[in-house]
Structure 1
Amino acid sequence: MNVELRYLHAFRAVCEGGSLRAAAASLHRTEQAVSYQLRKLEEALGMPLFRRGQGPLVPNAAGERLLAFCRDMGRDLAKLHEAMRDEPAQPLRIAAVSGFGRYELLPLFREGPLADVPIRMSFPTAEEVVRQVETGASDLGFVHLMLPHGALRLVAVGMEQAALIAPARQALPTLDIATLAEADYVTYDESDYVFATWFTQVLGEKPARLRSVAHFEELEEVLDWVAAGRGLSIVPYACVREAEARGDVVAVGRENKPCLNTIYAVMDPARTHPLQERTLEVVRELLGA
């Protein structure tokens, strides 16, 4: 038995309207279309549902039972709809590279314009961000470099600034290749791309080799190491603001020679979250895209 929901809808409209004409008007269909749906319903059930004769279409005993079922189903559907509306929204699962995610994105959800949005946020590498969106583990990703992917969309949402940072209590290095090639550096996961971008944009070339005296997963340790005078680093400037305000580190030459890098949103066109577009609009506004 194959009974389509639209056939039941037409049946109930006829019963409550008393005629094909009334049902057709309420359903915004032709009388012929409503008549066809009633016929298909009776064929699927293998029995007549109305007392045929002069005057209004009146359901027979089988029709009365089916009408009661339709009304119960309508009430149950209304209750289900209300229950669904009362359920809390599913968290927006976000994966973002650490610098942008922790220092630019997270504050938008903590005390910014997205504070009402429930989230689950992680800060993996750029490659892992793409993998999480690809597998459905995350609804939305943010990366600092273009990683082409056949099934996913990578859309530029704005720019972030990278900065060379040095200890505030030591003499600041000059911005030339010879000097910076001899310096010690504090590196971190994915710093190769950030370092290369900064050197290329600010000085036009990158030294063949840089000396790393310490390597960390997270940027907090990088800032602490630089503040302690253990080396220089190049990080997203959003990470530096508080440490610079405290007088721990200095962003060298940032105003005169800014380094800008594109931030991309990573999405799966086949899977979207109701809060995804709103989040992207806020991020674009933040980053000036």
Structure 2
Amino acid sequence: MELSALRIFQAVAEEGSVTQAAARLNRVQSNVSARLAQLEEALGVPLFHRSGRRLLITAEGERLLAYAGRLLTLADEAQAAVRGDQRPAGQLRIGAMETAAAARLPLVLAAFHRRHPEVDLLLETAPTDQLVQAVLNHKLDVALVAAPVLRPELAQLAVFEEELVLLTDAAQGPVRSPRDVARRALLVFRSGCAYRRRLENWFAEADVATTRVSEFGTFEAILGCVAAGMGVALMPKEVLKQRQLGSSIQCHTLPPQTALVQTMLVWRGDVLHHPARHAFAACFDAGISPAA
């Protein structure tokens, strides 16, 4: 298999469309379609299901995509190492938890862009578990996730500590234990969120059953529903400092074992040569933060 064919396959898989992949790669659509068909013929398996104009990747395609990411990353790393190029440039794919992206990243990204304008920054938000898997699968170069990260393949850098607080509406009385909010719904991010696990564990350790769980895709939606009295949520205190919540939401402190959590910057330890990633990590080492 040629690396150029793998790049085309990877682009089509990520875009879900030959047209969009062709635009991304600056190729004509017919060339992308032909190269994709040649690759499928050489492998003897379909890599995509055709559904109108959309392409849905097959199980065989998913397996190839994981290998393609690794092969292309190694090829780029080898090329840069041979050239001796240590200048941050090209694309840097960053993943972050929704709250970290909102509260922690803006100043870091702005400072990084000023220092390294030739790096093309792409940001994706997701829960911790999905971000970790995306880094492992070479879909992200680096990610901000909640500790602990128990994957030996990943290098880690502790970048800051969050204090999580329990959020309720203004009418809620004092909260000393989960029993004080036992009848309230849990307003959480989707499965795979480390903060969600901490909230659920807080209830479980007190032997308090949760009544309902409502999932949301953004922290803004969670804040709105908390203010409306729909339930309780767990969120970093830093997020709330940057928003004018007035008297609509109360913050309740929690025991340190629940409240305090390290945010880690993680990347694949076997990808050694990546100047843009090294420069991004150096921003945190230099102490750039929203409090700076």
* Fold similarity call, TM over 0.5: yes
Whole-Å separation in 2 of the counterparts to 1:260 and 1:198: 12
Preserved contact between residue 243 and residue 249 of structure 1 (Cα < 8 Å): no
Note the alpha carbon deviations across 1:60-117, whole angstroms, 9 max, x for none. xxxxxxxxxxxxxxxxxxxxx9xx99x992132101122212321234214xx32425
Whole-Å separation in 2 of the counterparts to 1:192 and 1:180: 21
Preserved contact between residue 92 and residue 273 of structure 1 (Cα < 8 Å): no
Which of 125, 142, 145 matches 1:143? Answer: 145
What TM-score comes out, normalization by structure 2 length? 0.57
Corresponding residue of 2:167: 165
Preserved contact between residue 181 and residue 207 of structure 1 (Cα < 8 Å): no
Matched letter for residue 128 of structure 1: Q
Distance 1:269 1:255, change over 3 A: closer
What TM-score comes out, normalization by structure 1 length? 0.57
Corresponding residue of 2:195: 194
Which of 155, 180, 183 matches 2:157? Answer: 155
Query: What is the CA distance between 1:160 and its match in structure 2?
Result: 1.3
Whole-Å separation in 2 of the counterparts to 1:256 and 1:147: 19
Distance 1:204 1:216, change over 3 A: closer
Preserved contact between residue 187 and residue 212 of structure 1 (Cα < 8 Å): no
Corresponding residue of 1:181: 182
How many residues are matched? Answer: 201
Note the alpha carbon deviations across 1:26-54, whole angstroms, 9 max, x for none. xxxxxxxxxxxxxxxxxxxxxxxxxxxxx
Q: Give 1:123-272 correspondences, 5 Å limit.
A: 123-168=125-170, 170-190=171-191, 193-195=194-196, 197=198, 205-212=205-212, 214-253=214-253, 259-271=259-271, 272=273
Query: What is the CA distance between 1:199 and its match in structure 2?
Result: 7.9
Corresponding residue of 1:278: 279
Distance 1:120 1:256, change over 3 A: closer
Distance 1:109 1:248, change over 3 A: farther
Note the alpha carbon deviations across 1:223-262, whole angstroms, 9 max, x for none. 1101112121111223222445444322123799982101
> Gaps spanning 5+ residues in structure 1: where?
1-80
Matched letter for residue 230 of structure 1: M
Whole-Å separation in 2 of the counterparts to 1:98 and 1:115: 20
Q: Which moved more, 1:263-272 or 1:225-234?
A: 263-272
Query: What is the CA distance between 1:193 and its match in structure 2?
Result: 3.9
Larger relative contact order (CA 8 Å, sep ≥ 6): 2
> Gaps spanning 5+ residues in structure 2: where?
1-82
Corresponding residue of 1:59: none
Question: What RMSD over aligned residues (CA atoms) do the two structures have, in Å?
Answer: 3.6
Distance 1:287 1:244, change over 3 A: closer
Corresponding residue of 1:55: none
Whole-Å separation in 2 of the counterparts to 1:282 and 1:198: 31
Preserved contact between residue 129 and residue 193 of structure 2 (Cα < 8 Å): no
Corresponding residue of 1:23: none
- Kindly, what percent of the aligned residue pairs are identical? 17
SS at structure 1 position matched to 2:136: helix
Larger radius of gyration: 1
Preserved contact between residue 165 and residue 237 of structure 2 (Cα < 8 Å): yes
